[in-house]
Amino acid sequence: MTYERRQRSTLAAVELLRTDEVCRRYGFKARTVLAWVEAGKLPAIKTPGGQWRYPARELDDAIRARREQLEREDQKRGTP
């Protein structure tokens, strides 16, 4: 099995979300999601058709880490 075929079969097993699904799941606006992708803050895969797809598990981890970081920053500032 070639590397490319293995990579495709691995990606097929990963749950990929569309931008609108990410927005519904987390309550973000599409512009925010796309800006974060462009800034490298969210994991994303661009399809050959130019659409963005987001690996659900990696996205959950990235958002959880970002929220924890914001909470720590708030605690340092003394914000409830």
Across 45-50, average pLDDT = 94
Beta-carbon contacts of residue 45 (< 8 Å; ≥ 6 apart): 11, 16, 52, 53, 54, 55
Does the pLDDT of residue 16 top 60, yes or no? yes
Across 50-55, average pLDDT = 95
Does the pLDDT of residue 56 top 90, yes or no? yes
Per residue in 25-41, pLDDT (tens digit) is: 999 999 999 999 999 98
Domain residue ranges in the chain: 16-77
Does the pLDDT of residue 79 top 90, yes or no? no
| Overall fold of domain 16-77 | Arc Repressor Mutant, subunit A (1.10.10)
Tokens 């970081």, located at residue? 69
Q: Report residue 2's pLDDT band, with 50, 70 and 90 as the boundaries.
A: very low
